[in-house]
Amino acid sequence: MRFADETPDGNYAIYPQQYLDYVSSICERLPAGVQSIASGKWYFDPTDHRCPHDSWLESVTLSEPSSGARSQTKDLSLSIRLLASYHDGYIDFSYKGLKRYTLDGSRLGSVKSAGTAHSDWLTDEFILLNDGLVSHEIRFSSETVWTIIAEDVGYSWVPFGGPKPLGIH
């Protein structure tokens, strides 16, 4: 990760201001969905219920919806649902124009994640790639790392008992 370093005790020092400065410097070139997520200070504020920090993975869905007369045209779709850290709603991510992904769970079952599966969503970054795609790197406290590369990312906050989802697109 560009804006987080592993500390000697195995935790991560996160540099949200440096990241916000980076996002500000490329904001005009970011896809609309990522721009609205990554430029919001609420996204890195753990007191904001919409912030994914310390959320728990509920589901990840990878699908290949098809279209065309013979269903010959395939797209890739990936979505993530998190139980928000305050347990008062869901956070949904959807990846538009999914190009590549790596879901590395090779550290699952380690001492850090014993009995907790992926454990807490520790931190994440959106990085603009040279080809205009966006890389979303996610790190869980279990040392699981996911990298998802897509054209854009959608985000929704779905409060429990609330009227309807607040989508940030």
Contact 98, 76 (CB under 8 A): yes
Burial of 95 (0-12, 13-18, 19+ CB in 10 A): buried
Of the chain, the percentage scoring pLDDT greater than 70 comes to: 85
In angstroms, the Cα distances linking 142 to 11, 29, 53, 146, 149 are 10, 33, 13, 12, 22
Q: Which tens digits make up the pLDDT trace of 100-112?
A: 999 988 777 665 5
List 66's β-bridge partners, or say none. 74
Q: Give 163's pLDDT tier (boundaries 50, 70, 90).
A: low
Q: Give 3's pLDDT tier (boundaries 50, 70, 90).
A: confident
Q: What is the mean pLDDT of the chain?
A: 86
More confident residue, 115 or 160: 160
Residue 74 has pLDDT above 70, yes or no: yes
Nearest C-alpha neighbor of 136 from the set 15, 38, 59? 38
